[in-house]
Amino acid sequence: MIRFLALVALLTLSASGAVQAKEAVPVAEDPVLEARLAELAAELRCLVCQNQTLAESDADLAKDLRREIRRMMQQGLNDAEIVDFLVQRYGDFVLYRPPLKTTTALLWFGPLILVVIGAGVGVVALRRRRRRVAAAPLSAEETRRLEHLLRRRAS
């Protein structure tokens, strides 16, 4: 009897589980597509919580966008087309690797420019210091005092 009840309970549970999991069915159906989704979503920024990727974020919009990306993948769109879809709506900001454009040139080359400026300042400073050290011959007076001091020390 107990075994029978347990079986009924188990069947009921699994049945309701199947109903609840309706939306998640494609996940189990196509692991390849899910892997592709996860990889692409990791390259995209969630606009609601801006320091998370679309793959990590739990925001409603991120879920909707993942669903939308999944749908496009099922329709056979390639990654570039899907990224294009998102950029058209949300701008380059969704990309963690923004394209090279006039508006993003500073973003891409800024660090390099800073390194060049830093290196330039460093070279100039080092040269100046070397010149200062080399160009300091003693005057006659100084030589005399130096010899005097050395002699005093020796005696």
Partner 1 sequence: MGRRLLPFAIFLLLAFFLAVGLRLNPSEVPSPLIDRPAPHFSLPLLADPDRVVSEHDMLGQVWLFNVWASWCSACLDEHPLLMQMAMRGELPIYGLDYKDRAEDALEWLEHRGDPYVLTVADQDGRTGIDYGVYGVPETYLIDPHGVIRYKHIGPLTAHVLEETILPMARELRQ
Q: CA–CA distance from 54 to each of 62, 92, 96, 143, 147 (Å)?
A: 6, 14, 10, 74, 77
Q: Which is nearer to partner 1, 21 or 48 (CB)?
A: 48
State the binding string over 45-84 for partner 1 (x if CB under 8 A, else -).
--xx-x---------xx--xx--x----------------
Task: For the beta carbon of residue 44, count every other beta carbon within 10 angstroms.
Answer: 24
**Beta carbon of residue 91, minimum distance to partner 1 (angstroms, whole number):** 4
**How far apart (Å, rounded) are the C-alpha atoms in residues 5 and 126?**
86
Q: Which two tokens stand for residue 23?
A: 């939306």
Which span sits near partner 1 by CB under 8 A: 32-40, 90-98, 132-140, 145-153?
90-98
> Is residue 95 close enough to count as binding partner 1 by CB under 8 A?
no
> Is residue 117 close enough to count as binding partner 1 by CB under 8 A?
no
Q: Which is nearer to partner 1, 18 or 91 (CB)?
A: 91
Exposure string (b/e) for 64-90, b if CB count within 10 Å is 16 or more?
ebbeebbebbeeeeeeeebbeebbeee
Number of residues that bind partner 1 (CB under 8 A): 15
C-alpha count within 13 angstroms, C-beta hemisphere, residue 22: 4
> Is residue 87 close enough to count as binding partner 1 by CB under 8 A?
yes
Question: Which stretches of the chain bind partner 1, using CB under 8 A?
Answer: 47-48, 50, 60-61, 64-65, 68, 87-93
